[in-house]
Structure 1
Amino acid sequence: MIVAGLDGSESSWRAAAYAAGLARRQNATLALVYVQPYLPGGAALGVPVSEAETGVAEQLLAQIRESVERVRDTFRVRWEFHTFRGDPYNGLATAADQLTADAVVVGASERAGHRFVGSVAVRLVKTGRWPVTVVP
């Protein structure tokens, strides 16, 4: 099982494409994982948090299906889509553990502040439970 984190950013789509190629070459299943963040502040403002986040997951799933359909005659890979709740690091770590990942693929962080705090990718690498590939 190859787990790829997907949040809709350009780097996460590149990571998903890389992971798909890896899964195809290894005859493995590709698990695309979206981590729904907790938004307690949104709930206080009257925003229907679960509906908003479910919408993002549904949009990602629609884009994945569209991409799979475009390449289905030349590129076949078994894939699944999973949604977990929490912060990105804990969500991906939980997904990798629960799905018994052989490898985890994530996109490089596009946020400048992660140089100081540590990106999700760096934290996954430091965890050391699975091989982690960071795609730029």
Structure 2
Amino acid sequence: MTGFELGTDGPGTILTAVDGSITSLRAGAYAAGLARRQHAHLLVVTVATTPAMAAMAPGALAVLSETAQDLATDVQAQARRYLEDLSLTGELVQVAGDPYTEIVRLADERRVDGVVVGASAKAGHRIVGSLAGRLVRAGKWPVTVVP
């Protein structure tokens, strides 16, 4: 048999998405521990986003985009230090766009064995649907949602 093998012993790659929120940082720590125990590769993704309403205010989009990029860079620097402290093999990826779309794209491209994300703390997500819920419903990988 050649090519990609599904169903191997333990995960090869675990993707975790961090955005600086407390639940995403918990998810990142959980994923790091899981990767360490399972001897898996850790893919840490940070997605820089800007609010949709920013496009309505002239000049606000550029400022918010820059702020989002700065936050993503800070989160990635924290993740790098964390990986170094734990002596983990991992990869840091910073992208811009819609978090769901980018996480799904990267998870598919890298053929990850699991996704770890933080639970949403926003009340509106109970009605509209959270990122974690959407990833679970996609049904492509095991998804762990960390409170």
Q: Which residue of 2 aligns with 1:11?
A: 23
Q: Which residue of 2 aligns with 1:2?
A: 14
Task: List runs of 5+ in structure 1 lacking aligned partners.
Answer: none
In the TM superposition, residue 106 of structure 1 has moved relative to its aligned partner by: 0.2
Q: What RMSD in Å do the two structures reach over aligned CA positions?
A: 1.9
Amino acid at match of 2:111: T
1:66 maps to 2:78: no
TM-score (norm 2): 0.80
In structure 2, what is the Cα distance between the partners aligned to 1:81 and 1:65?
7
Task: List runs of 5+ in structure 2 lacking aligned partners.
Answer: 1-12
Paired-residue identity, % = 48
- Give 1:96-107 correspondences, 5 Å limit: 96-107=107-118
In structure 2, what is the Cα distance between the partners aligned to 1:115 and 1:50?
27
TM-score (norm 1): 0.86
- Give 1:1-136 correspondences, 5 Å limit: 1-39=13-51, 41=54, 44-47=57-60, 48=62, 49-69=64-84, 72=85, 75-136=86-147
Higher relative contact order (CA 8 A, sep 6+): 1
In the TM superposition, residue 32 of structure 1 has moved relative to its aligned partner by: 0.7
